[in-house]
A = this chain, B = another copy of it.
Amino acid sequence: MRLTEALQFFPGIGKKSAERIAFYILSNPQDGKKIAESVEEVLSKIKFCNICGNITVEDPCSICSSHERNRTTICVVEKPMDVFAIERAGIYDGLYHVLGGLISPLDNRGPDEIRIEPLILRAKKEDLNEIIIATNPTTEGEATALYLQESLKEFNIKISRIAQGIPVGTDLDFADDITLLRAMEGRREFKD
């Protein structure tokens, strides 16, 4: 495969940028070699945690094996990047479960193609109070959330969904209609 084509796999890199990077690599072979080695090193070390499905160096991952986290709550996300975003925000101290995709009939991806069965096994085995479904508020994310809720309701575990609404710091009149609807539906009473 030609380098310029391969580089366009990167998100945000188009044909022009790929060409610019390719010429940079050709003019700076030492840098190019370092990049290739880093990519190979990462690929050789990184694996998936057999419990939560997140990317990790050690299996099980540091979150699944930690005893400082709240082990009675699982936050279900689509992909490793979502774990990264929530961890970076420092707003959650429970465990995770990475589905590795969302149910999407249009892409021919059903429940069996993502890690739903392992989640049901965890719900059976682990001593859980709550499963927070944090898939994206997109069509696929919502479909997956509903499917999960159906699959998990037989267990005596609280199943919750992250809030949809107006993002913090933005203006109401920039919100689309469905976001306004969700913000209105999801309104919460002030409590003293």
Contact = CB atoms under 8 A, between A and B. Distances in A.
A183 interface: yes
Interface in A139-179: 149, 153, 158-173, 175-179
Interface of A: 77-79, 81-82, 84-86, 88-92, 132, 134-138, 149, 153, 158-173, 175-190, 192
8 contacts: A77-B172, A81-B173, A89-B178, A134-B172, A136-B170, A160-B190, A162-B183, A168-B179
A88 to B, nearest CB: 7
For A137, A149, A158, A173, the residue with the greatest tally of chain B CB atoms inside 10 Å of its CB is A173
Contact of A164 (B79, B166, B185): B166
A102 to B, nearest CB: 11
Contacts of A153: 190, 192
- 6 tightest A-B CB contacts, nearest first: A163-B186, A163-B165, A89-B177, A165-B165, A162-B183, A91-B181
Contacts of A90: 177
A159 to B, nearest CB: 5
B187 A178 contact: no
Contact of A132 (B159, B182, B187): B187
